Amino acid sequence: MAEKKDQKEFKKDEADKKSAKELKEAIPRELKKTYQEIHPEEETVEKVISIKRTTKVTKGGRKLNFGAVVVVGDKKGNVGCGFGKANEVPNAIKKGINDAKKNMINVPVKGSTIPHEVIGRYGAAVVLLKPAAEGTGVIAGNVIRPVCDAAGIKDILTKCLKSQTPSNVIKATMDGLKKLRFKNELLEE
């Protein structure tokens, strides 16, 4: 009795697959939209800053977890940072990318630099961001540089004061970038 039910379900699954194929073939190739046509080219830069391994010792042995710090930006003034934790590195990176896309902010860019000097703070980390003359380049450490590159800032002077922890330094950098305003925005407030 159970075998007959399984055979009926198997036949239904095959019929469903055939009908789906027929529907796909019924639509002319010219009318089918590709993923790129539906979602226009979004040139996002995804950069993994650090991957940390944590170990939990239990009665049955060691349990490994991974944490990833990721920066995502479009090089047009939008940038976000995210943190992901999972049992495997690729899953942690995916979670970090999704978190970074949710936390995107708009950074005012004046030419190829920032409008004014600003200090960002988070926890024990303090980050100084200064505008620079054209052609200077990104003078930054290995944690702040990807954030500036993802935001599209080409000329900037930075200094990481106090804490050097990557997660805190990135959050302090994001805090500094959030504080940036153009002159006319300041006059309106």
pLDDT given for residue 8 in this prediction: 53
How many Cα atoms sit within 13 Å of 110 on the Cβ side? 15
Q: Considering only CA atoms, give the Rg of the chain.
A: 24
pLDDT per residue, tens digit, the chain (189 aa), is 555 555 555 555 565 555 555 655 655 555 555 544 555 556 788 999 999 999 999 999 999 999 999 999 998 889 999 999 999 999 999 999 999 999 999 999 988 999 999 999 999 999 999 999 999 999 999 999 999 999 999 999 999 999 999 999 999 999 999 999 887 776 676
pLDDT given for residue 173 in this prediction: 95
Q: What are phi and psi of 53, to 5 degrees?
A: -105, 130
Please measure the distance between the N-terminal and C-terminal CA atoms of the chain and give it in whole angstroms: 77
CB 62 within 8 A of CB 56: yes
Predicted structure pTM score: 0.74
CA dist 84 and 106 (Å) reads 22
pLDDT given for residue 35 in this prediction: 47
